[in-house]
C-alpha cells in the first residue's frame, strides 16, 4: 500500500523590504479574495497603557504598531506581535481589517498575485486639534493612482444645504467612537502612539 504524499503548502506570504515603507508583507503565492491572511497579534493593553508606553514619542514620528480593538482595548504588536504589523497602508488596498469577537484579522478583498505587496487602509483618525502639517507627517507613499496623499482618514466635507439647521456635535461618546471600531472594521493604530 502506497503512503499518501505529505503535501505541505508553501507559506502564504513573506516579509521583506518594501518600496512603500520599511518592511512590507508580500504574497508568496496566489491569495484568493475572502481569504483570512493573518490575525493581528500583540499584547492587549488599555488605551491609557498604550498612551503611557509611547508618551515620549517624537511628534513627527508616524510609526506605530498599535491597533485599536474597541473603546477599552489596543493591540500593541511591538510586544509579542507577528508579521501582520508589517502590512503597509494603501489607498487602493487589496486587504481590509475586520474585527471578530474582539480579534483583528486581515482579509483579502480581491485576489492577490504572487509577489504583490499586501496593504490595507489604516484610516488613522483625525483629531480636531491636529496641526496644519499633520498630513505631511502622515504622508502616504503607496503610489496608487488615486492616492489621497495621507494615511489619515479622508477629510469629510460638509455637504449640508444652507436651509437645514446644523446637526449637534456628538456628546460624551465622541472620544470613545473616535477610537472604536466602525462598520465592523477596526480603525488602524492611533497616531498619538508609536512603536
CA nearest 40: which of 57, 29, 25, 55? 25
| pLDDT > 90 in the chain, percent | 50
Is 89 a member of any domain? yes
Please give the residue range of the domain that contains residue 127: 13-156+168-179
CATH of the domain at 28: 2.170.270.10
Is 63 a member of any domain? yes
Quote the pLDDT of residue 135.
Answer: 85
Residue scoring higher pLDDT (23 or 6): 23
Is 83 a member of any domain? yes
Asked whether the beta carbons of 12 and 28 are under 8 A apart, the reply is yes
pLDDT band at 183 (very low <50, low <70, confident <90, very high): very low
Domain count, the chain: 1
Is 190 a member of any domain? no
pLDDT average, residue stretch 14-39: 96
Is 71 a member of any domain? yes
Quote the pLDDT of residue 56.
Answer: 80
Dump the DSSP string for 46-105: -HHHHHHHTTTS-TT-----EEE-SSS-EEETTTT--GGGGPEE-SS-SEEEEEETTEEE
Amino acid at each position: 500500500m502506497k503512503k499518501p504524499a505529505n503535501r505541505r503548502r508553501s507559506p502564504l506570504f513573506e516579509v521583506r523590504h518594501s518600496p512603500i515603507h520599511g518592511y512590507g508583507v508580500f504574497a508568496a503565492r496566489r491569495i484568493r479574495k475572502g481569504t483570512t491572511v493573518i490575525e493581528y497579534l500583540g499584547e492587549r493593553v488599555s488605551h491609557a497603557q498604550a498612551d503611557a508606553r509611547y508618551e515620549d514619542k517624537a511628534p513627527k514620528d508616524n510609526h506605530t504598531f498599535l491597533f485599536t480593538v474597541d473603546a477599552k482595548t489596543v493591540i500593541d504588536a511591538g510586544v509579542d506581535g507577528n508579521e501582520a504589523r508589517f502590512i503597509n497602508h494603501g489607498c487602493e488596498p487589496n486587504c481590509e481589517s475586520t474585527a471578530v469577537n474582539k480579534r483583528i484579522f486581515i482579509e483579502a478583498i480581491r485576489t492577490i498575485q504572487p509577489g504583490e505587496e499586501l496593504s490595507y487602509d489604516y484610516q488613522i483618525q483625525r483629531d480636531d486639534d491636529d496641526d496644519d502639517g499633520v498630513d505631511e507627517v502622515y504622508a502616504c507613499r503607496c503610489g496608487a493612482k488615486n492616492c489621497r496623499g495621507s494615511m489619515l482618514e479622508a477629510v469629510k466635507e460638509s455637504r449640508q444645504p444652507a436651509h437645514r439647521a446644523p446637526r449637534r456635535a456628538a456628546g460624551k461618546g465622541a472620544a470613545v467612537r473616535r477610537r472604536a471600531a466602525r462598520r465592523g472594521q477596526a480603525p488602524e493604530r492611533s497616531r498619538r502612539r508609536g512603536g
